[in-house]
Amino acid sequence: MASKYPTLTDADFPPLKNDLLLRAARGEETERAPTWIMRQAGRYLPEFRKLRESHSFFEICQTPELACAITLQPIHRYTGLLDASIIFSDILVVPQALGLEVQMLPSKGPHFPAPLRELVDVARLREDVDVEKELGYVFDAITLTRRELKGEVPLIGFSGAPWTLFAYMVEGGGSKTLQEAKRWLFSWPEESTRVIERVTDVVVDYLVGQVKAGAQALQVFDSWASELSPRHFRLFSLPSLLRIASSVRSRLTAQNIPIPPLILFAKGVSPSLFPELAEAGYDVLGLDWATPPSYVDRTKVAVQGNLDPNVLYGDRAGVDREVKAMAEEFIGQAKGPKGWIANLGHGITPGVDPENLRWTLECIQKYSARR
């Protein structure tokens, strides 16, 4: 079936003025660490909360003009301090594309009214997902936002990792134990794997579509990697992560489309898995705040992270001290950063004062500058 979305190239957009993130993702030395913040377009910003007063969460995700406006909010507020934007969306648009209803409830977060609790529930998933039909609004938002950025910074696209998405689809929302998802893994391992593979098919199509729409980097969020032992991660998450990297690369290569940097953020994953993740086909490994960069072979892969998000609740002296320590850990004895993208170790939280983030970004620029 012919695509209704044309493949867009750099020539279709304003020239990029700031390529720090793209260079760092390739492992290059940079004059300072490029910086972006997970959830940088979010509830801590008063302008975000104002827009949310008149629009539901998924209405914003599904309306390209609104998603674009939200994506640009932190870029406009922190001019010169952020080196990338990330399209405003949610990892749970993929389960929606598969036919599941997802709600975003105030003060509770994501909720699936009818999760996959038993094997018979798998029949409710769409057999063949037309990603352009189901998620074309994200592609439209990416194209619009790339143009509206006017080349100021690159635009990152993203998806949830299949294991994390599967866990949400079975749990029906957030969970402290993932007991339902693990009941699936340990009762029906083969069936669980088949569902994860179906999710992977959609994720690959989705990420390729984002690149064709104008995304200049891609991040895969395996937010619940921490909930799997190394053995179970190798069984239920790693195969899909490998397939995403290899399939996205091969699909883009077959269409003569340049491959953007691929970032993998497997939060809380066992350090014993880093040698395998460094060879998994991603250019950058994102690190949470409990994972030092020394765990990663940086001759093979660039790194991203990893300030504790709660540092942003500290006073200015505390933020300054912690950012300095982070920079020293990532840069070491070198004269400046190489293959390091500065970020938090997870998403920024709603209670942060936006001016504390500004100070954090200023400190990152100060302490990561090449000497």
The whole-number pLDDT of residue 251 equals 98
Based on the residue annotation, tell me whether 39 is a catalytic residue of this protein.
Answer: yes
Choosing from 90, 140, 205, 222, which is the catalytic residue? 90
Choosing from 23, 32, 39, 298, which is the catalytic residue? 39
Choosing from 5, 43, 201, 308, which is the catalytic residue? 43
Q: Is the pLDDT of residue 366 over 90?
A: yes
The whole-number pLDDT of residue 2 equals 62
Based on the residue annotation, tell me whether 12 is a catalytic residue of this protein.
Answer: no
CB-CB contact of 330 with 33 (8 Å) = yes
Q: Which of 21, 19, 23, 17 is nearest to 34 (CA)?
A: 21
Q: What is the mean pLDDT of residues 174-183?
A: 96
Across the strands, what pairs with 306?
343
Asked if omega into 310 is within 30° of 0 (cis), the reply is no
Choosing from 44, 168, 206, 367, which is the catalytic residue? 168
The whole-number pLDDT of residue 21 equals 98
How far apart are alpha carbons 295 and 234 in whole angstroms? Answer: 18
Based on the residue annotation, tell me whether 52 is a catalytic residue of this protein.
Answer: yes
Q: What is the mean pLDDT of residues 260-265?
A: 98
Q: What is the mean pLDDT of residues 210-230?
A: 98
217 three-state secondary structure: strand
The whole-number pLDDT of residue 3 equals 79
Choosing from 5, 52, 117, 201, which is the catalytic residue? 52
Q: pTM for this structure?
A: 0.97
Across the strands, what pairs with 284?
263, 302
The whole-number pLDDT of residue 312 equals 98
Q: Is the pLDDT of residue 24 over 70?
A: yes
Q: Which long-range contacts (CB under 8 A, 24 or more apart) does 288-294 make?
A: 288/345, 288/346, 289/344, 289/345, 289/346, 290/345, 291/345, 292/329, 293/329, 293/330, 293/340, 294/329
pLDDT in tens, 228-254: 999 999 999 999 999 999 999 999 999
The whole-number pLDDT of residue 106 equals 86
Based on the residue annotation, tell me whether 297 is a catalytic residue of this protein.
Answer: no
pLDDT in tens, 73-131: 999 999 999 999 999 999 999 999 999 999 999 888 999 999 999 999 999 999 999 99
Extended strands (E) in the chain = 85-86, 103-105, 109-111, 155-160, 217-222, 262-266, 284-286, 302-307, 340-344
Residue type, 226: S
Largest Cα–Cα separation, the chain: 61
Based on the residue annotation, tell me whether 168 is a catalytic residue of this protein.
Answer: yes
What is the overall mean pLDDT for the chain?
A: 97
Q: What share of the chain is helix, strand, coil (3-state, %, to 5)?
A: 50, 10, 40
Across the strands, what pairs with 344?
307
pLDDT in tens, 285-304: 999 999 999 999 999 999 99
Question: What is the full DSSP assignment across 16-45?
Answer: PS--HHHHHHTT-B-SS--B--TT-SSTTS
The whole-number pLDDT of residue 96 equals 98
